[in-house]
Chain A
Amino acid sequence: MKASPKEFRVDAAEKLSGATSYIRDEQIPGLWYGTTVRSPHPRARIREIHLDPHFDWNTVTIVTAQDIPNNYVAMLENDMPFLAEKVVNYVGEPVALIAAPTRAEAEEAKKHLRVDYEPLPAILDMLEAEKSSIKLFGENNLFKEIVIEKGNLETAREKAAAVVELEARTGYQEHLYLEPQGMIAIPEKDRVILKGSLQCPYYVKNALTTMFAGLKHITVIQAPTGGAFGGKEDFPSLLAGHAALLAVKSGHPIAMFYDREEDVQVTTKRHPSYHHDVAYVDQEGCLLGLDLHLWLDGGAYCTLSQVVLARAALTATGSYYVPNVRIHAKAVATNTVPSGAFRGFGGPQAVFAMEMLMEKIAQRLGLPPHEVRRKNLIKEGQDTATEQVLKYSVSARETFEDVLQESDYEQKYRQYQEWNKPILEKLRKGEYPKSNRHDRLRGIGLAAFLHGAGFTGTGENKIQGKIRVELTAEGKPLIFSAQTEMGQGEQTAFRKILSDALYIDRDDVLLAEVNTDKVPDSGPTVASRTTMVVGSLLVDAAEEIIQQLSYRLKEEQGVQFDYRRGYFYGGEQILSFREVAQKYAGLTVEKQYHHPPIIKFDDIRWKGDAYPVFSWAAAVAEVEVDPVTFEIRVVRYFTTHEIGKAINYNQAVAQIEGGSLQGIGYALYEKIKLQNGKFDISGFTDYIIPATTETPEFQVKILENPYPFGPFGAKGLGELPFVGAAPAVLSALWMIFGKEFNHLPVLPEDLLQLFSKQKNTEG
């Protein structure tokens, strides 16, 4: 759909003309290039770093652990070094850095540096971590353990007509932002300037201030960012540290630009998960109790695993009401690349397991899968596993019913089952399954899902994000915030929210460059919090600007001024916002976020309002499977989202489609395996993401159900669409084959196996 000009993205024209300057497009005189010497072992002791005496080391700069004042990346736990000193804990862990005037010279020097290792036994299976005699973190290799309990599982067990058990697994996923990681560090006397592709400027600033033990002033500037999806949340702190160390030691500006292979090999991935779940249900399929166990593989260092685990645990019951629950969740350490933030942040793994459990309950009780879900969807007034009573903006049922109707789910479910019968029959008998070249098995699947908007638990109150708005000499409000644009539309949304709140033109609102010397810390651009949390501060700022301007007019002119739709009315006068703002140019308003006082969470007992509100969605995926090659394709994808209020409707739809497609990739294409601790992928060739040819026809609908504390009622959107796509696709496979699908991704060879196994058992 063509948007109205007021809705066009504010950053699009420049991106379309090729003028937007991403970090690799910067022209910096005297720029040197850095490269990283990495561990080839999953775990080893470093014996010695050996420099070839025949090589001229005067032309390059080398940095090792000895050069670093505080050798840890300040994050949740300070366990990850910038450079390994005595032991390496994963394949690809940085050991030394080299910089030279050109990339080729840096690479050449790298060939003359040798690290001697003594390989050590490693933990490569997350389920062995806790009991392993190898200690990577604390006493039991648990980054975090969470237990959430509500009600009494005993009562559920006693009343249950059926007990349904499921084991499930999800794999790694790579962000594969089109622009690989990139950072430039520019050294000055007492300061280092970092400019790069990143989501969270203040994370980088804090990590580097700590690294230099406060001896350097750190300035962080965000360059236009070519996609992030969480992959540029935690990782840039490490990369910026490397660039800064080389810059300070060499005295030259340094570029750390990963090529695609390095990027996919060593940067963070989505946490693989393992689930063991038990559901107690009555004969109707109503959930009486859930006993859920989940493990996340955090990799060698903690990064953000503790909070990823929290979100996974808090999302584990999905969009459903359950009277009795126990959730037991663990994030463990292994000798693999540290897992990190990725769109959904633990939610997708949790919802996947819950949705597959729903499929299994339906199968066991012989009920249609949508009926079982329908009976259990949570509604206003009911409470979650943490006893958070949902008081407003609850649309689990509304989105679910809507998508069933939009997609004609029930009718197609029956039709496709009939259609598939003869094909499946032939497959079972081992006959050639097609009577026509175009014969495909047809499946339809569904998922209900949710995303808690904003930080988990007390996070927002800890951060207390701040923004500032100033009136420029031209009478235009200028927004200062640390929120970053990475493709999701932050710049467009912010300008729209403030201009709508002030009743002025969007083009009259300006955004300051994201530079930590200029913008206050409004918190990181993560957790679908930008529009909902920081956006609400913009609305508050608008109100205060109007108040202050009215007050000043009154002081000066002695009459009361009222503001309506862009004009101040007072006495005989009508003054436009612009005129008044020009008159009082320089006026500055600051706003700081606090949770609405009715939102309370106890993060010791895991009770209360884990999130200020949830965004809700449901999806239906129509899938076709070639019965000969077992190639799987999603042909149509319907989804209904309720996000409070869409700030920019067309862009919200685009965001939903993009997120859904990433989820389809997670379900069917994106696979990474470990070979002795090393990822078996090198880039787009062997890690497949959906192209136009793998993209279904999308039908997206957005429902409104305002959140009282969001700007114009808006809630978080960015992560939600990803969460339900994989379970919806797999639900369609359950429907076609009537078999259990409990792992991600599912590839044609998995389906093939289904039939070779079947033949074996039946034959």
Chain B
Amino acid sequence: MKEISIHFTVNGKKVSLNVPSRKRLLDVLREDLGLTGTKEGCDVGECGACTVVMNGRAVHSCLVLAAQADGAEILTVEGLAQNGELYPLQKNFLEYGAVQCGFCIPGMLMSSYALIQENPHPGEEEIKEAIAGNLCRCTGYKQIIQAVEATVKR
């Protein structure tokens, strides 16, 4: 497979890599950069577990090719907490009991983060819509939605 060289910013750090051009962004993050917080649940853009924020928008990193990430600014779950302090969104997930097995959680956080960036005061329906592509098999979504609501009320 053809190798290409790409440059982008991840969690505020600049990175340059040589990777096969058809490698998925998900694998670049997990394998080349060791950012394993981003999860894979399906590989076809249906579960949302692999969601990261790219140039301000939530994307399925299993559907993004490395080449498409060239020049982009990317935020993953590892980039949310600052100096070991959970980001407010994370704190609310903790406090509202939104986490069970945790496998969907990084994706949930990133979709919610992108929503709040774009719309600082979303209503319940907008929150539900924003995370409708993030599937969770453990919860009934209620605590997740409440945690996002609590974050935007602050």
Contact = CB atoms under 8 A, between A and B. Distances in A.
A15 interface: yes
Contacts of B106: 18
Contacts of A27: 34
B135 A16 contact: no
Interface in B83-106: 86, 90, 93-97, 99-106
Nearest to B40: A24
Contacts of A13: 86, 90, 94
A19 B135 contact: no
A2 B104 CA distance: 21
A260 interface: yes
Given A16-B99, A25-B36, A178-B39, A692 B141 contact: yes
A595 to B, nearest CB: 30
Interface string A1-35: 11101011101110111111110110100000000
B114 interface: no
A176 B143 CA distance: 20
Contact of B102 (A175, A224, A650, A695): A224
Given A8-B95, A17-B81, A178-B39, A691 B102 contact: no
Interface in A667-697: 683-685, 689, 691-693, 695
Contacts of B38: 18
Given A17-B37, A654-B142, 18 more contacts: A3-B96, A12-B94, A12-B99, A13-B90, A17-B80, A18-B37, A21-B36, A177-B101, A178-B103, A226-B39, A227-B137, A260-B41, A260-B44, A489-B100, A654-B97, A654-B100, A691-B134, A693-B132
12 contacts: A3-B95, A9-B97, A12-B93, A12-B97, A13-B90, A25-B30, A177-B103, A179-B41, A226-B39, A226-B103, A657-B142, A683-B44
A2 B150 contact: yes
Interface of A: 1-3, 5, 7-9, 11-13, 15-22, 24-25, 27, 175-180, 224-229, 259-260, 486-489, 650-651, 654-655, 657-658, 660-662, 683-685, 689, 691-693, 695, 698
A13 B49 CA distance: 18
A601 B83 CA distance: 58
Question: Top 9 closest A-B pairs, CB basis?
Answer: A18-B37, A487-B101, A657-B140, A226-B103, A15-B102, A684-B46, A25-B36, A18-B77, A487-B100
Interface in B51-92: 76-78, 80-81, 86, 90
A684 B136 CA distance: 12
Contacts of B150: 2
B39 A22 contact: yes
B139 interface: yes
Contacts of B138: 178, 227, 487, 658
A446 to B, nearest CB: 19
A512 to B, nearest CB: 20
A232 to B, nearest CB: 11
Contacts of B30: 25
Given A179-B41, A180-B41, A684-B42, A225 B101 contact: yes
Contact of B42 (A1, A2, A683): A683
B103 A19 contact: no
B139 A16 contact: no
B47 interface: yes
Contacts of A25: 30, 36
Contact of A661 (B76, B95, B133, B140): B140
B104 A178 contact: yes
Nearest to A486: B101
Nearest to B47: A684
B102 A487 contact: yes
Contacts of A20: 102
B93 to A, nearest CB: 5
Contacts of B105: 15-16
B141 A695 contact: yes
B128 interface: yes
B101 A259 contact: no
A658 B140 contact: yes
Nearest to A694: B132
A13 B92 CA distance: 11
Contacts, number: 167
A657 B98 CA distance: 12
B86 A488 contact: no
Classify chain B's interface size: 35 or more
Contact of B137 (A178, A224, A683): A178
B107 to A, nearest CB: 9
B142 to A, nearest CB: 6
B115 interface: no
A228 B138 CA distance: 9
Contacts of A22: 39, 103
A691 B137 contact: no
Contacts of B39: 22, 24, 178-179, 226
B131 interface: yes
Nearest to A12: B99
Nearest to B96: A2
B95 to A, nearest CB: 5
A228 B103 CA distance: 11
B145 interface: yes
A488 B42 contact: no
Contact of A229 (B34, B95, B137): B137
Given A178-B101, A227-B103, A260-B43, A692 B128 contact: yes
A8 B97 contact: yes
B25 interface: no
B41 A178 contact: yes
A225 B143 CA distance: 20
Contacts of B78: 17-18
Interface in B117-148: 128-129, 131-143, 145-146
A453 B90 CA distance: 34
A226 B101 contact: yes
Interface in B11-43: 30, 34-43
A685 B95 contact: no
Nearest to B41: A178
B10 interface: no
Given A178-B39, A684-B44, A8 B140 contact: no
Contacts of A176: 137
- Counting chain A CB atoms within 10 Å of each CB, the highest count among B35, B90, B101 belongs to B101
Contacts of A651: 97
Given A20-B102, A226-B101, A657 B95 contact: no
Contact of B47 (A8, A9, A178, A662): A178
Contact of B36 (A18, A227, A654, A661): A18
B90 A17 contact: yes
A650 B41 CA distance: 27
A256 to B, nearest CB: 15
A1 B86 contact: no
A692 B132 contact: yes
Nearest to A695: B141
A685 B140 contact: no
Given A178-B104, A179-B101, A654-B97, A693 B41 contact: no
B124 to A, nearest CB: 10
A18 B135 CA distance: 17
B15 to A, nearest CB: 17
A654 B139 contact: yes
Nearest to B106: A18
Nearest to A657: B140
Given A487-B100, A662-B137, A689-B135, A16 B86 contact: yes
Nearest to A26: B36
A17 B42 contact: no
B78 to A, nearest CB: 5
Contacts of B44: 260, 683-685
Nearest to B107: A178
Contacts of A24: 36, 39-40
Nearest to A22: B103
A123 B93 CA distance: 49
A693 B124 CA distance: 11
B35 to A, nearest CB: 8
